[in-house]
Amino acid sequence: MKILVPVKRVIDYNVKPRVKMDGTGVDLANVKMSMNPFDEIAIEEAIRLKEKGVATEIIAVSIGEPKAQETLRTALAMGADRAILITSETEVEPLGVAKLLAKVVEEEQPGLVILGKQAIDDDSNQTGQMLAALLGRPQGTFASKVDVDGDSVSVTREVDGGLETVKLSLPAIVTTDLRLNEPRYASLPNIMKAKSKPMAQKTPADYGVDIAPRLTTLKVTEPPKREAGIKVADVDELVGKLKALGVA
């Protein structure tokens, strides 16, 4: 079966984001961008399923500005077979992304779509669930283990309090949690090879999807700053302060 893996270009997870002075958003000019960490895990899982002989082809797809092709090249260098870039100059919300992905799924008919559980920029945690809803397919969110068996897939999910396992009929939608796997690095030869792998260029209009945003960001502010604290000299002083606070 084919596996479709949507990937997003986001601010690198090591960068401390800065809120713009005018309150319109986060300053992304000259900031290092990378593939969303959860999406790397999604690509890795797809590759492992291909290595096990479960998957036949891995298609990476990204929606965003033209630079998102760099993210797709990374996915190709890791082991994806081909890529689809849907270019949009304006930011597309999870609902719009899910609608576009639903069209790609209709075209490509993958047995599995593996997404990251959330993007570390908008922290929405919605796209996978929305895609499953639009397609009328089952969802295995926050997966820490994925086992394909015939026409179903068992997904162990990280839930509050522990783990739970669900069985989904294929085709299905899975979203990755951190502990699903350790993504591989792309080797230099594979980075070179990725340059010649096919990448289709599309626009939202090609799919006839309305991506007009439903939410308007009125302003973006920094979170309230904590007041600088004090350092205590030793345990006795710490115990004294804790007692004064009524903790002990």
Partner 1 sequence: MKTLVWVEHDNVSVKDATLAAVTAAGKLGEVHLLVAGKGCGSVGEQAAKIAGVGKVHVADDAAYEHALAENVAPLIVELMGHHDAFVAPATSHGKNIAPRVAALLDVMQISDILSVESEDTFTRPTYAGNAIATVKSSDAKKVITVRGTAFDKAEMQGGSASVEAVSATGDKGLSSFVGAEIAKLERPELTSAKIIVSGGRALKDSETFQQVIIPLADKLGAAVGASRAAVDAGYVPNDYQVGQTGKIVAPEVYIAVGISGAIQHLAGMKDSKIIIAINKDEDAPIFQVADLGLVGDLFKIVPELTEKL
Nearer to partner 1, 109 or 169 (CB): 169
| Residue selected from 21, 29, 150, 162 as contacting partner 1 according to rule CB under 8 A | 162
| Residue selected from 31, 159, 192, 205 as contacting partner 1 according to rule CB under 8 A | 159
Question: Per-residue string for binding with partner 1, 44-83, x by CB under 8 A?
Answer: ----------------------------------------
- The phi, psi pair for 183, rounded to 5°, reads -65, 145
Using CB under 8 A as the binding rule, whether residue 229 contacts partner 1 is answered as yes
- Widest Cα–Cα separation across the chain: 69
Using CB under 8 A as the binding rule, whether residue 199 contacts partner 1 is answered as no
Site residue total, partner 1 (CB under 8 A): 81
Using CB under 8 A as the binding rule, whether residue 176 contacts partner 1 is answered as no
CB of 48 to partner 1, least distance (A): 19
Asked if 40 contacts 55 with a C-beta cutoff of 8 angstroms, the reply is no
Nearer to partner 1, 136 or 150 (CB): 136
Distance CA 241, CA 233 (A): 11
Distance CA 179, CA 218 (A): 35
Return the range that interacts with partner 1 (CB under 8 A); candidates 43-51, 74-82, 191-199, 238-246.
Answer: 238-246
Which pairs with CB-CB distance under 8 Å and at least 24 residues apart come from 74-77? Answer: 74/7, 74/35, 74/186, 74/194, 75/5, 75/7, 75/35, 75/39, 75/43, 76/194, 76/197, 76/199, 77/186, 77/187, 77/190, 77/191, 77/193, 77/194
| Residue selected from 31, 200, 205, 232 as contacting partner 1 according to rule CB under 8 A | 232
